[in-house]
């Protein structure tokens, strides 16, 4: 969903706020910037839409909770095939994205290639040096100019984040333990690729597959797919995932709320709260391409 371009009308914002759990509505209302509130709210709506429509649970009966590490999960009692249903959302830049799998671990991350605040690109790379391996930096530095190097950095970053989100860990994991051999070096917009390989502690990881998509000139999406803990190895083949690649579907607001049933009462003050927010921090000019 293009949350960056979304300029909600009063009716839309009030409806959207009714369609999430009260504690999430309150959390979203506390964001300083409108862009962050929009992205977080859309992320919750994507999850509820997925669960309601795919698992046939009425929207207002969907109960989401978070793990101690902050990863959302479905708290409803599920039986049989749906008991290991996995989903994950990410929002950054101009989009909120969701990926889901019925039986395997899934993590998703989206990154927008954007200038790193007031820092120069070489200085930004110096600050981030320990987050990637020497091999990964060699690939990044091999790109023809600084902008393409930054683009390749964010591609690697999305891959790493997708894996960490799939396994449900956060700050504290040494990112140098994971190394990506990206392939191909250039990604066409809209196409799904799964040739990139991961090394964990120097060993090739065959049980994980990574699907990469370039949504547009500035946004990379990485989806990590791996074996569920306790899931029989014979039942999972990472290579068979290649036949099931799905492209992303862009949703409208109407699509997003189509199956919605209000969870909380209408709250007119929530619109006033949203209108008082600045869209985002003052932004530097865009890098010429």
Q: What is the pLDDT of residues 80-118, one digit of tens each?
A: 555 678 999 999 999 999 999 988 999 999 999 998 887
pLDDT at residue 234 tops 50: no
pLDDT at residue 287 tops 80: no
Mind listing the domains of the chain with CATH numbers?
A: 1-87+246-280 (3.90.470.20), 105-226 (3.90.470.20)
User: Of all residues in the chain, what percent carry a pLDDT higher than 70?
Assistant: 89
pLDDT tens figures, 6-50: 999 999 999 999 999 999 999 999 999 999 999 999 999 999 999
3-state secondary structure the chain: CCCCCCCCCHHHHHHHHHCCCHHHHHHHHCCCEHHHHHHHHHHHHHHHHHHHHHCCCCHHHCCEEECCCCCEEECCCCCHHHHHCEEEEEEECCEEEEEEECCCEEEEEEEECCCCCCCCHHHHHHHCHHHCCHHHHHHHHCCCCHHHHHHHHHHHHHHHHHHHHHHCCCCCCCHHHEEEECCCCCCCECCEECCCEEEECCEECCCEEEEEEECCCCEEEEEEEECCCCCCHHHCCHHHHHHHCCCCCCCCHHHHHCCCCCCCCCCHHHHHHHHCCECCCCCCCCCCC
The span from the CA of 142 to the CA of 56, in Å, is 49
- What are the two backbone dihedrals, phi and then psi, of residue 115, each rounded to the nearest 5 degrees? -60, 140
The span from the CA of 92 to the CA of 108, in Å, is 11
**Chain Cα centroid distance, residue 7:** 21
pLDDT at residue 289 tops 60: no
pLDDT at residue 119, rounded to an integer: 84
> 222-253: b or e for each residue (b if 16 or more CB lie within 10 Å)?
bbbbbbeeeeeeeebebeebeeeeeebeebeb
The span from the CA of 151 to the CA of 82, in Å, is 37
pLDDT at residue 227 tops 90: no
Q: Are strands 105-112 and 95-101 parallel, antiparallel or unpaired?
A: unpaired
- Residue 246: pLDDT band with limits 50, 70, 90: confident
pLDDT at residue 69, rounded to an integer: 79
Please, what is the average pLDDT of the chain?
89
The span from the CA of 145 to the CA of 143, in Å, is 6
- What are the two backbone dihedrals, phi and then psi, of residue 192, each rounded to the nearest 5 degrees? -100, 130
Rounded to 10 degrees, the C-alpha dihedral 110/13/65/280 comes to 40
pLDDT tens figures, 129-165: 999 999 999 999 999 999 999 999 999 999 999 999 9
pLDDT at residue 195 tops 50: yes
116 vs 52 pLDDT, higher one: 52
pLDDT at residue 232 tops 50: no
**Mean pLDDT of all residues in 200-205:** 92
pLDDT at residue 245, rounded to an integer: 65
Rounded to 10 degrees, the C-alpha dihedral 16/3/9/52 comes to -20
The answer to whether the beta carbons of residues 181 and 155 sit under 8 Å apart is no
The pair of three-digit structure tokens given for residue 7, joined into one six-digit string: 């300029």
Instruction: Give the dihedral sign, CA 257/263/269/275.
Output: negative
pLDDT at residue 282, rounded to an integer: 76
pLDDT at residue 33, rounded to an integer: 96
pLDDT tens figures, 64-83: 998 887 788 888 877 655 56
């Amino acid at each position: 969903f293009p949350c960056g371009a979304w300029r909600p009308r009063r009716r839309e914002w009030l409806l959207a706020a009714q369609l999430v759990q009260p504690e999430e509505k309150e959390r979203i209302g506390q964001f300083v910037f409108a862009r962050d509130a929009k992205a977080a709210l859309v992320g919750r709506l994507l999850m509820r839409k997925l669960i309601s429509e795919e698992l046939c649970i009425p929207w207002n009966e969907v109960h989401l909770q978070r793990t101690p590490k902050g990863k959302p999960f479905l708290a409803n009692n599920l039986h049989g095939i749906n008991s290991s249903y996995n989903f994950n959302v990410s929002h950054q830049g101009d989009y909120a994205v969701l990926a889901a799998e019925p039986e395997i671990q899934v993590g998703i991350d989206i990154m927008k290639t954007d200038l790193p605040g007031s820092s120069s690109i070489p200085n930004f790379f110096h600050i981030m040096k320990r987050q990637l391996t020497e091999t990964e930096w060699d690939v990044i530095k091999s790109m023809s100019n600084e902008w393409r190097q930054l683009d390749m950095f964010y591609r690697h970053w999305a891959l790493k984040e997708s894996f960490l989100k799939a396994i449900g860990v956060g700050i504290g994991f040494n990112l140098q333990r994971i190394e990506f051999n990206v392939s191909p070096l250039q990604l066409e917009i809209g196409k799904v690729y799964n040739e990139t390989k991961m090394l964990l502690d120097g060993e090739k990881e065959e049980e994980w597959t990574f699907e990469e998509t370039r949504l547009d000139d500035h946004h990379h999406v990485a989806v990590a797919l791996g074996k569920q803990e306790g899931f029989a190895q014979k039942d999972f083949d990472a290579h068979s995932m290649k036949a099931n690649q799905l492209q992303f579907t862009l949703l409208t607001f109407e699509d997003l709320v189509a199956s919605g049933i209000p969870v909380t009462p209408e709250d007119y003050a929530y619109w006033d709260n949203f209108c008082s927010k600045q869209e985002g921090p003052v932004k530097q000019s865009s890098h010429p391409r």
